[in-house]
Amino acid sequence: MVGPGSAVATESRQPLGLSRVKSSVALLPLLLVAACGDEPASVPDAAPRGKPIAESNVAREPEPTAAPAPQVPDETALQAMKAPQVELAPAERLARDGFEALRMTDEERAAIAQVLKDNGRTQLPASAFPARVRELDGATAAIRGWMIPGRIEKRDVRDFMLVRDNQACCFGAMPTFDEWIHVEMEPDAHAEYLRYVEMEVTGTLQVGGLPVAEGVQPPALRMRATRCRPVKEPRVR
């Protein structure tokens, strides 16, 4: 015979047994996965609350740039850098550069003009020229230019202007001090006037000097020439 106390005890133990069965059922999938050797899938984290920040608004640090590789000069450039700079003699410089060796700045031309104004255009001393031009005084070389004839004796040109380019020769542009040379041919030398033909004149350069004639502006540069020939033979018409 079961008393009231036993019935109460039986009812109180029944929920405890059910809870153990439920726990075993809940652990059964995990035990089966572990027995098969697979790891349980990870549970993703909960999504963060709040409004997401736009990616374009996030400040990014600039990526470092690689420094450019230094340029290594070739063998020819290295030899040119190591080679000593040889200074040319005045005659060699005049022969190589021609009128370019005589070029002056606007300030240097203005200084020469002031010297002419101060002495009434009667003379032009070499001291008025820059040193690099004075060094060419007495140099003998061949210079190319264009002829504006002066005195002519039986088609033999005895003196003329040798200008830097044919703009002054053929189109009337006034050359500056360093753009023309007054050439006088030696007594036994001859020159022929050829229009629109570049000439090569060989002689000795004189920097400064006396005027050609009274009242005429003295030429800044002079030459006593021994030879005058065309650079290219003119076409026969």
Q: Is residue 45 part of a domain?
A: no
Segment 34-41 mean pLDDT: 48
**186 falls within a domain:** yes
Question: What's the whole-number mean pLDDT along residues 7-28?
Answer: 46
Chain centre distance of CA 8: 109
Residue 59, in any domain of the structure: no
Instruction: Report pLDDT digits (tens) over 50-102.
Output: 555 555 555 566 666 766 666 766 777 666 666 666 789 999 999 999 999 99
pTM of the model: 0.62
Residue 143's SS3 state is strand
Q: Is residue 77 part of a domain?
A: no
In a domain, 200, yes or no: yes
Q: What is the dihedral of CA 34, 39, 44, 45, to 10 degrees?
A: 80
Q: What residues are paired with 206 via a beta bridge?
A: 222
Higher pLDDT residue, 44 or 144?
144
46 φ/ψ angles, rounded to the nearest 5 degrees: -70, 145
* Residue 160: inside a domain: yes
Beta bridge partners of 126: none
By residue range, what is the domain housing residue 177?
Answer: 90-230
Contact 200, 229 (CB under 8 A): yes
Q: Is residue 44 part of a domain?
A: no
pLDDT score for 75: 73
Least confident of 127-136, 168-177, 227-236: 168-177
What's the mean per-residue pLDDT of the chain?
A: 76
CATH classification of the domain holding 206: 2.40.50.870
Confidence of residue 24 (pLDDT cuts 50, 70, 90): very low
**In a domain? residue 210:** yes
Report pLDDT for 129: 95
164 or 58, which is more confident? 164
- Of 95 and 45, the structure prediction assigns the larger pLDDT to 95
Give residue-wise pLDDT tens across range 177-213. Answer: 899 999 999 999 999 999 889 999 999 999 997 766 6
How many folded domains does the chain comprise?
1
Kindly state the percentage of the chain with pLDDT values over 70: 59
